[in-house]
A = this chain, B = another copy of it.
Amino acid sequence: MAAEYAVRCVLYLAQQGSDVLVNRQEIASQARIPDSFLTKIAQDLARAGIITIKQGAKGGYALHRPPRQVNMLEVVEAIIGEISLNECVTKPAACPASPNCAANLVWQEARRRVRETLLAADFEALAKAGACVSPFPSPLSPPEARP
């Protein structure tokens, strides 16, 4: 779930526009992320330079760049590390056969394509497409209007 939560968090922020500060509780409730867990996820996202965190009173999270410049690949990998599909793809040492293994090449190709797909998915497009968070069919109360 952690990676999925991260996507929702970033998407919610993208929908508010870049550099708009949103407090954690709002994100948590609107994107349906356990609030305490979100603190962990946010830390990873901040380390990856995807969001900025403002501490203290009136603190919160904001997107660190324009949504156009954030993609699903980096968000997901900020949380779970490099996607590998099979260990031998990213750590050849894990299997002695790897230098000479056709199956390894298949995994590499599969991985390449997944990553390529996620890379192409930027959050401007996702937010525009009405994705994920905002048009929830479920009866969540909308956040307070932002002044």
Contacts and interface: CB of A to CB of B under 8 A. Distances in A.
Main secondary structure of the interface of A (DSSP, over half): helix
A72 B105 CA distance: 12
Tallying the copies of this chain within the complex gives: 2
Interface string A1-34: 0011001000100000000000000000000000
A132 B4 contact: no
Given A96-B136, A113-B114, A103 B86 contact: no
Contact of A72 (B4, B106, B129, B137): B106
Given A11-B103, A97-B135, A117 B110 contact: yes
Interface of A: 3-4, 7, 11, 72, 85-88, 96-97, 99-106, 109-110, 113-114, 117-118, 121, 125-126, 129-133, 135-138
Which 8 pairs from chain A and chain B are nearest by CB?
A102-B131, A102-B129, A113-B113, A110-B117, A106-B121, A102-B126, A110-B114, A101-B132
